[in-house]
A and B are shown apart, each in its own frame.
Chain A
């Protein structure tokens, strides 16, 4: 990687092709959430489940450096504001963070001046209904899971819920997350203080 292409410092990888692939692979989930692509191998499914459980734990414990280390250098954390994600080149998303912006997001939360997270939310991420699907690439998998996030902050508790698509690939004997797409069930409604990572 040339230094000026370091995804922590510049965003060359979010290019036309990247967007095109996102739209093709994510916006219509019936393209990939297909029974004939579902992985039956319990060992593989268990490894995927373990990845999501670990991610949930790191988020709940505020270990955001470790959380981000689960992600590929050229990654995306995406909360669409349109069903399936739409085309993010033409419409705003609730969140569309590349590597650099995720690092900025975490930096901001740690300044002590991000008033929406002072004091911080307490969360419990519950991940369930984990299904793994093959893709056209041999070492790349799509994981569909459902989530409930119980969040307590400012004297109130609430539940956020929806389903996630994780695009993961094998890396150094483990996994790395390339894309996490979070589909809130109420993505098109006004939501209070969405300042935690889902």
Chain B
């Protein structure tokens, strides 16, 4: 008879919850326990220690281009208004009236110098300062006291347009937290005129599964050929498969020059660029078929002549996945944001990005480039990500099996010479390795075992 398994985290009564959540047991070298995806207590703790205790992506500066512009978002589960205040400073205000807790702003975006609470009418400037309450003579207190101003995220910093916030006074600077992942972010931005992009609509998906399933997947080169077989076959329908983007993963992807990389602090990176010839137009040549492709390519070639290839490459999907822990995934031409909603519910917002060309580098072809680029961006959310999201939901369903406890992430482990570590600790491995998963989940465990001091601040 084969051996019977002893559970690592036996189901127990409520007072036994603490040992069940021992993360040294639940996160092992080669595998993690199902509870890290299914336990509401672990999720609740993530919403403070991860989404609060470290730098978390909040919004993009192009969403609030002018003073008084705002977008509403979340930091973990906290409702937040990211606003460019009347003096031009970027703030992340708690969308929560100090009086009785009502959310102040229910719009997703807009422009406002002040926010008035719909419940009793307390009004706040977009700096977070309380500017007035109805019938103040009914109060003995001094409303100039800072305690009545809105709570706000104490540390808000941007990296080249990406706005992050943390509640942790002891967190390192944003630059230090990002570390070497800024290099691929810089390269991603610098391929565009002016080194920047603006947000341009979004494909918004939702799945009934834990948020980490998306982060696990974001660098997963192992699933592509199988999970996205329908997309590969669809592209193959119209063209020679060897020329198409996803077909980087044909046959044995580990033999290709693409790689995955772990940068530290939970950030990882899939770089497929080495699979593409390094010459203008090479990226565009491997792009699939999209609406308007023939017409706009012809327009751009007519207009730009031998400079057309560089412009067309801007409409093609950049073959990188830059994953900034815990919630920012820059991939192709998208900026994807992971929004945890509940232990088993997650939103994935795929923001499209457009090229802007203030210096005229594209000689008037920028509109045609964007008309192509919008269509190339719609492809993966429609024909790829829906299948990923369906699989994430099925993982969550599978993980309901209590006694079968482990999720493996040991691909590439213990194979001599396979994984390289440089002098800065940056880890590089073949494209299908799960080393990035093992490393980021160790960082997750470190954060979850820490005791960050979370603080809000208020205007004085």
User: Which residue numbers of A lie inside 8 Å of B, CB to CB?
Assistant: 9-16, 18-19, 76, 81-82, 86, 88-98, 100-101, 104-105, 107-109, 111-116, 154, 188-195
> Are A192 and B208 in contact, with the CB atoms below 8 A?
yes
> Are B387 and A115 in contact, with the CB atoms below 8 A?
yes
Q: What is the bound-complex CA distance between A109 and B295, given in angstroms?
A: 27
User: What's the A-B contact tally at a CB cutoff of 8 Å?
Assistant: 141
What is the minimal beta-carbon distance from A195 to any residue of chain B, in angstroms?
5
| A81/B201 contact (C-beta < 8 A), A10-B294, A91-B374, A98-B291 known | yes
| A115/B391 contact (C-beta < 8 A), A12-B295, A81-B203, A191-B206 known | yes
Q: What is the bound-complex CA distance between A195 and B230, given in angstroms?
A: 13
Q: What is the bound-complex CA distance between A185 and B85, given in angstroms?
A: 31
Question: Which of the residues B292, B352, B354, B383 comes within 8 Å of A108, measured between beta carbons?
Answer: B383
| A104/B291 contact (C-beta < 8 A), A92-B202, A114-B387 known | no
> Are B295 and A14 in contact, with the CB atoms below 8 A?
yes
Question: Which of the residues A92, A190, A193 comes within 8 Å of B374, measured between beta carbons?
Answer: A92
| A190/B348 contact (C-beta < 8 A), A92-B203, A154-B393 known | yes
Set of chain A residues within 8 Å of B227, measured between Cβ atoms? 115
What is the minimal beta-carbon distance from B425 to any residue of chain A, in angstroms?
36
Set of chain A residues within 8 Å of B229, measured between Cβ atoms? 111, 113
What is the minimal beta-carbon distance from A151 to any residue of chain B, in angstroms?
13
> Are B204 and A188 in contact, with the CB atoms below 8 A?
yes
Sample of 17 more A-B contacts, CB < 8 Å, known A15-B292, A92-B378, A116-B387: A11-B290, A11-B295, A16-B295, A16-B371, A81-B202, A89-B370, A94-B378, A104-B234, A107-B233, A111-B230, A113-B229, A114-B387, A115-B230, A154-B390, A190-B349, A192-B389, A195-B386
Interface of A is mostly: loop
> Are B231 and A191 in contact, with the CB atoms below 8 A?
no
Question: Which of the residues A108, A116, A190, A195 comes within 8 Å of B204, measured between beta carbons?
Answer: A190
Q: Which residue of A lies closest to B379 (CB)?
A: A101
| A116/B290 contact (C-beta < 8 A), A19-B371, A89-B371 known | no
Interface residues in B, total, Cβ within 8 A: 50
Residue from the set B108, B208, B382 with the largest chain A CB neighbour count within 10 Å: B382
Set of chain B residues within 8 Å of A88, measured between Cβ atoms? 374
> Are A92 and B289 in contact, with the CB atoms below 8 A?
no
Question: Is B375 interfacial (CB 8 A cutoff)?
Answer: yes
What is the minimal beta-carbon distance from B303 to any residue of chain A, in angstroms?
12
| A82/B382 contact (C-beta < 8 A), A108-B231, A114-B387 known | no
Q: Which residue of A lies closest to B341 (CB)?
A: A190
Q: Which residue of B lies closest to A186 (CB)?
A: B204
List of 9 A-B pairs having minimum Cβ-Cβ separation, nearest first: A91-B201, A92-B352, A14-B292, A190-B347, A190-B206, A98-B291, A116-B386, A113-B229, A113-B230
Set of chain A residues within 8 Å of B201, measured between Cβ atoms? 81-82, 86, 91-93
Question: Which of the residues A101, A104, A111, A115 comes within 8 Å of B390, measured between beta carbons?
Answer: A115
Q: Which residue of A lies closest to B354 (CB)?
A: A90
What is the minimal beta-carbon distance from A102 to any residue of chain B, in angstroms?
10
Question: Is B342 interfacial (CB 8 A cutoff)?
Answer: no
Can you name 26 A-B residue pairings with CB atoms under 8 Å? Answer: A9-B238, A10-B294, A11-B292, A12-B295, A13-B295, A14-B292, A18-B292, A81-B201, A81-B203, A88-B374, A89-B367, A90-B374, A91-B200, A91-B201, A92-B374, A96-B374, A104-B238, A114-B387, A115-B230, A115-B387, A188-B108, A188-B204, A192-B389, A193-B207, A195-B386, A195-B390
